[in-house]
Amino acid sequence: MAGVLVRESGLGRRALSIDVVAGREVALVDVLDRLLADGVVLSGDLTLAIADVDLVHLSLRTLITSITGEEEQ
Partner 1 sequence: MNADACYTYAVARPFDVATIGPVRGVDDAAIRLFRYRDIVAVSSAMPPEAAEEGALRTRLETLESMEAMARAHHAVVEAVVERAVAIPFRLATIHHDERRVIGMLRHGHAEFDATLNRLAGRVEMGVKVYANISAPPPTSIVASVSDSPGRDYLRTRRVERNQRERGSRQAVDVAERVDAALAESAVERALHRPQAARLHIDRAENVLNAAYLVEARDLPAFHTLVRRLGSDAPGVRIEVTGPWPAYSFASLDSGGEP
Chain residues in the site for partner 1 (CB under 8 A): 1-7, 9-18, 26-48, 50, 55, 58-60, 62-64, 66-68, 70
Contact 29, 68 (CB under 8 A): no
In the complex, the smallest distance separating the C-beta of residue 22 from partner 1, rounded to whole angstroms, is 15
Give the Cα separation of 29 and 68 in Å (integer): 14
In the complex, the smallest distance separating the C-beta of residue 20 from partner 1, rounded to whole angstroms, is 10
State which residue, 1 or 22, has the beta carbon closest to partner 1: 1
For 62, residues 6+ apart whose C-beta sits below 8 A from its C-beta are none
